[in-house]
Copies of this chain bind each other. A is one copy, B any other.
Amino acid sequence: MTRITAQGKTAQLEDIAKALGISKTTVSRAISGKGRVSAATRQRVLDCIKELNYSPNMIAKSFSESKTYNIGVVVPMDNVGTEAPFFQTCLMSISKCCALRNYDTVVIGAEGSDLSQLRRVLESRKADGIIITRPLQDGSMEQLIAGKNVPYVTIGESTEPDAVRVDSAHKEGCCELTAYLLMNNRPADIGLILGGMEQTVNRSRYEGFSKAFENSGALIPAKNVFLGVKSDIQLRRTVDELLRADCGCIICGDDMICMAVVNVLSSLGKSVPQDIRIASFYDSLYLDMYSPPITALKFKAGELGTTTAALMLDIIEGRNAPAETILGFEMLIRRSTM
């Protein structure tokens, strides 16, 4: 068989058709599997593709199919503190999953409520679907996308009732961790510090915490529960109060709160877990590396990414997807609560 393609140029459909003396139509069908092609012809095409090292020009394919083979992923650009690894992992597992199905992953940065990058991708019609890794509180991302008739999936809560979403079992996790702590501490000795309650995730955390008390039949020690704690000053004051109340175990809403708490404790000469036990409703490398390592709830960002990507691709390819998918959690019992 002679090489038809000019030196240096990459082969295209026509080269294969010529080499085999058949039409481009047949070659195209042999590759895509759409329409009938005899097994023999199909095999010749496949062999020839190998020999000529053919690989389709995806832009041409995109153009003719009116399909980009791109998934846009909205990632917050201004993630604070320890959030970066979460979004990284999400993005990477999405991209891995997409790549396996021959889609590319386009990054869409979102700084606060600035949706200009999202708008750009939507206008230029360069994505077949959008994954939102952190929806805004006002649902504006979802609305913008839905307005362009592009399918989307969110990770975490969405204010939009018809959003397809994937999330972690925050409430159940928090309930389980609290239940564990209730086994080793007097209920009245447990304290809770949560961040802003306008965030759904913090409300879920509080629900899980409450549920565990309810299940155990114990009363929630209301004076040890601090919601909406945001600034460092508030936090410092909160820790002071918890210590004054002789609290033996502090549950922190997330890793950032937790790090701040242990810093306060260490500055007061209190040691973990001898003087006080500490746990966090959200894990991060910080908590794992701290000395002593801190008990925490872990939600797998990688699985969230993979699941979401698979869902997105299913939707694009016309299968239907469940409106809600909830993934599990892991309880990492470490030295801070022993």
Interface set of A (CB-CB < 8 Å, partner B) = 10, 55-60, 62-63, 66, 68, 70, 73, 75, 77, 79, 81-82, 84-85, 87-89, 91-92, 95-96, 99, 102, 104-109, 111, 116-117, 120-121, 123-126, 259-260, 263, 266-267, 285-286, 289-291
Q: By the criterion CB–CB under 8 Å, are B106 and A106 in contact?
A: yes
**Which of B63, B99, B121, B126 contacts A120 (CB under 8 A)?**
B99
Give Cα A105 to B123, complex, Å.
16
**Closest 6 CB pairs between A and B?**
A58-B124, A84-B85, A263-B291, A63-B63, A55-B123, A95-B107
**Which of B56, B82, B92, B259 contacts A75 (CB under 8 A)?**
B92
Q: By the criterion CB–CB under 8 Å, are B102 and A59 in contact?
A: no
**Which of B55, B63, B87 contacts A124 (CB under 8 A)?**
B55
**Which of B82, B104, B267 contacts A285 (CB under 8 A)?**
B82
Interface majority SS (helix, strand, loop, mixed), chain A: helix
Q: By the criterion CB–CB under 8 Å, are B95 and A289 in contact?
A: no
Instruction: Give the chain B neighbours of A81 by CB distance below 8 A.
Output: 285
Give Cα A170 to B84, complex, Å.
24
14 contacts across the A-B interface (CB closer than 8 A): A57-B124, A58-B124, A59-B126, A62-B62, A63-B63, A82-B285, A84-B88, A95-B107, A95-B108, A96-B117, A99-B117, A102-B120, A266-B291, A286-B289
Q: By the criterion CB–CB under 8 Å, are B125 and A96 in contact?
A: no
Given contacts A62-B62, A259-B289, A266-B291, 15 further A-B contacts (CB under 8 A): A57-B124, A58-B124, A59-B59, A59-B63, A59-B66, A60-B63, A70-B104, A77-B96, A84-B85, A95-B107, A95-B108, A99-B116, A99-B117, A260-B289, A263-B289
